[in-house]
């Protein structure tokens, strides 16, 4: 309870909602709360967790990257094509990271050097990178990856039921949270998102910072693509199609302001787990993919609407409290 009291209001609400989702899933199916099911369920949103970390940083500086899932698919295709061509797996993995970094760099250059809006840029590169993935693989699927690598994708931490990708995501989430909340660099991100002009006048290198964040987003998407490829033991051009919606929904539902300057890694991570649990509970009772898409869309709308309503209510309460203090003798 003490840990809950130390959390900001919206993060506390998310903790409660995660618990409700767990209990609700248990009511829907007796198998939902089993360790094996929860292990499988959490592994299913490990890639979204990874991409949500850098997306959080981008949205805090009032930018967005809609191409993350397409970069994932492109890096998966690059990994598969190179492996099929006989390239050693470590070099193929390195090449996937290089491609992801370059994809993020292109996004960043278009936004920071040409002054184009990141929403428009990344809608375009969403199609560009997905198209390149299809050019590389067409409708083929490359499989038969070495077991030592696929074990990384769907294995668990020895002695536990914790999926290795979730353990990796948790470590990276802690690192990201420390960078965002406990370093000058993290504080500069909030300053840029709150008032970019003032941040620039105060000496912050706004364009360089944003460019770095886009490159980081590309690299994290590449990591997600590697995890996805090994988890399903398959490289395809359509891998993770549509995942960008889940990433954005999680970040915004986590309380990160779409206008920048506000948000936390803790909130985004909690929202990833909440959305994953809801989808998992619906899947286990045979809800169709179409309904799951509708749910994701509603959560995306709610992720913008609810935090802003909560912020307005809190602001109204604070104003009333200040007026009360002013009136009282």
Per-residue pLDDT band for 314 (boundaries 50, 70, 90) equals confident
The residue-averaged pLDDT of 38-45 equals: 91
Reduce the DSSP state of residue 221 to 3 states and report it.
Answer: helix
Q: Which of 259, 250, 279 is nearest to 69 (CA)?
A: 250
Q: Domains along the chain? A: 10-316 (1.10.3470)
3 state SS of 264 = coil
Residue-wise pLDDT tens digits, 272-287 = 999 999 988 888 888 8
Nearest to 271 by CA among 228, 218, 307: 307
Please name the residues in contact with 245: beta carbons below 8 A apart, sequence gap of 6 or more.
296, 297, 300
- On the question of pLDDT at 6 being above 70, the answer is no
What string of DSSP letters covers 273-289? HHHHHHHHHHHHTT--H
In the chain, what percentage of residues exceed pLDDT 70?
95
Q: Of how many residues is the chain composed?
A: 329
Cα gap 272→293, rounded to integer Å: 15
Whole-Å CA distances, 205 to 176, 188, 202, 258 = 20, 9, 9, 21
Q: Please give the Cα distance from 99 to 67 (Å, whole number).
A: 13
**pLDDT category, 31, cuts 50, 70, 90?**
confident
| Reported pTM | 0.90
DSSP state letter for 236: E
């Amino acid at each position: 309870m003490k840990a809950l009291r130390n959390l900001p209001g919206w993060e506390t609400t998310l903790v409660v909602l995660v618990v409700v989702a767990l209990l609700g899933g248990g009511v829907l199916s007796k198998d939902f709360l089993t360790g094996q099911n929860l292990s499988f369920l959490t592994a299913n949103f490990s890639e979204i967790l990874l991409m949500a970390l850098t997306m959080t940083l981008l949205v805090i500086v009032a930018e967005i990257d809609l191409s993350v899932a397409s970069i994932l698919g492109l890096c998966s295709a690059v990994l598969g094509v190179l492996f099929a061509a006989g390239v050693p797996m470590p070099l193929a993995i390195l090449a996937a990271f290089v491609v992801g970094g370059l994809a993020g760099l292109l996004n960043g250059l278009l936004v920071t050097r040409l002054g184009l809006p990141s929403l428009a840029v990344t809608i375009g590169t969403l199609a560009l990178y997905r198209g390149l993935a299809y050019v590389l693989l067409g409708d083929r699927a490359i499989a038969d990856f070495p077991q030592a690598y696929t074990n990384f994708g769907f294995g668990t931490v020895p002695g536990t039921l914790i999926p290795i990708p979730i353990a990796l995501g948790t470590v990276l989430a802690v690192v990201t949270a420390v960078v965002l909340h406990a370093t000058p660099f993290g504080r500069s991100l909030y300053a840029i998102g709150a008032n970019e002009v003032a941040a620039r006048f105060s000496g912050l290198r706004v364009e360089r910072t944003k460019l770095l964040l886009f490159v980081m987003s590309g690299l994290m998407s590449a990591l997600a693509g590697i995890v996805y490829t090994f988890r399903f033991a398959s490289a395809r051009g359509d891998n993770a199609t549509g995942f960008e919606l889940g990433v954005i929904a999680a970040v915004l539902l986590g309380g990160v302001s779409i206008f920048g300057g506000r948000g936390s890694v803790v909130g985004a991570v909690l929202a990833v787990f909440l959305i994953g649990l809801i989808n998992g509970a619906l899947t286990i009772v045979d809800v169709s993919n179409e309904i799951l898409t509708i749910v994701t869309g509603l959560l995306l709308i709610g992720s913008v609407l609810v935090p802003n309503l909560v912020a307005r209510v809190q602001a109204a309460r604070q104003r009333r409290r200040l007026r009360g203090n002013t009136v009282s003798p």
